[in-house]
Amino acid sequence: MLLERAAGLAAKTAQYHKMKRAADEAEQFETRANQFGTISDRIARTCSALGKFTDAGVTINFVPSDGLGYAAKAKALRTAIQSDPAAINDPPFDLKNEFIDRLNMIAGAAEKAMTEAWKAYVAKRADFGSNDVLSALAEIPQFRPSVTKIRQCRSKISALGNSLPSDPQMTVAQLDALVADHNAAWVELSAEDIPSSIVSFIRAAAAEGAPLATYTDQVQAWLESRNLLNAFRIRLR
């Protein structure tokens, strides 16, 4: 009877160790699965974002470092696991330092490149020149409504560059509309009691620059009478 109990205990002990090994292996597989799932999702999101910016016409100057080499590592690991699933716990290279960490670095570099490119894109679209002219015009009651609208457009345009958009095409369309509203506000800048030549000069100066020939005695006198001369600069091309 004692021998039977001992034999039964030995069998249960062996079964316990077998189950424990299986549980340990399952835990290891779960850990690896979580590691691969996390980096896979990040790479997929990064690739998708890069494609969306390209489709929206925003150029991202980014090339992954040794992308082909990491693709080869992924292929080698997949082949090893297909032959023996246990290979996931004994990969042919340092899985964390030589693969997962490097892929995270690549994704991080791509995200940084997108952020910088988007900020540069918005900044270029929002390059409306100095605010000196706008500040000067705000002092003239007849121009204040237009100046307020122009400033609102500039503020909204600038805000678009503060973070990466989830839908670049839609955000670029918003940017296009704001730039159009901004330009329209300059075109609409007028006042009944201000000569058209002066209004035209101000519009041109605030946009791409007014030709020196348009800086007439009348324009000079009008600007000088309102202490606006310092708001304008002569630019040599």
Is 236 part of a structural domain of the chain? no
Same-domain check for residues 18 and 114? yes
pLDDT at 237: 56
Does residue 237 form part of some domain?
no
Last residue of a domain, one of 124, 139, 173: 124
pLDDT score recorded for residue 173: 96
Same-domain check for residues 43 and 146: no
The residue range of the domain holding 197 is 128-231
- Together in a domain, 34 and 56: yes
Boundary (domain end) residue, out of 82, 105, 124 = 124
The answer to whether the beta carbons of residues 157 and 125 sit under 8 Å apart is: yes
| 186 and 120 together in one domain | no
Question: Is the pLDDT score of 159 beyond 70?
Answer: yes
d(CA 126, CA 128): 6
Residues 54, 70, single domain; the answer is yes
88/155 same-domain check: no
The predicted pLDDT at position 157 comes to 94
> What is the number of structural domains in the chain?
2
Q: Is the pLDDT of residue 22 over 60?
A: no
Question: Taking the alpha carbons of 27, 31, 33, 34 in that order, is the dihedral positive or negative?
Answer: positive
Q: What was the pLDDT predicted at 130? A: 67
Average pLDDT of span 52-64: 92
Do 110 and 133 belong to one domain? no
Question: How much is the pLDDT for 207?
Answer: 64
- Work out the number of other CB atoms within 10 angstroms of the CB of residue 185: 19
Which positions ≥6 away from 204 have C-beta within 8 Å? 210, 211, 214
Task: Return d(Cα 57, Cα 59) in angstroms, integer.
Answer: 6
Task: Say yes or no: 152 and 221 in one domain.
Answer: yes
- In this prediction, residues 220-229 reach a mean pLDDT of 80
134 and 219 both lie in a single domain: yes
Q: Calculate what percentage of the chain has a pLDDT beyond 90.
A: 27
94 falls within a domain: yes
Q: At what angle do helices 144-160 and 101-125 cross, to 10 degrees?
A: 170
**pLDDT reported for residue 83:** 76
Is 94 in the same domain as 133? no
Phi-psi region of 227 (alpha: psi -120 to 50; beta: other; left: phi over 0): left
Last residue of a domain, one of 72, 89, 124: 124
Question: 119 and 134 in one domain?
Answer: no
Three-state SS annotation for 149-211:
HHHHHHHHHHHHCCCCCCCHHHHHHHHHHHHHHHHHHHHCCCCCCCCHHHHHHHHHHHCCCCC
Could you tell me which residue, 8 or 69, shows the higher pLDDT?
Answer: 69
Same domain, 25 and 54: yes
Q: What does the pLDDT read at residue 5?
A: 44
Q: Whole-number mean pLDDT of the chain? A: 78
- Which amino acid type is present at position 56? A
pLDDT tens figures, 169-192 = 999 999 999 999 988 888 777 666
Predicted local confidence at residue 27, as pLDDT: 59
By CB atoms closer than 10 A (0-12, 13-18, 19+), residue 161 is buried
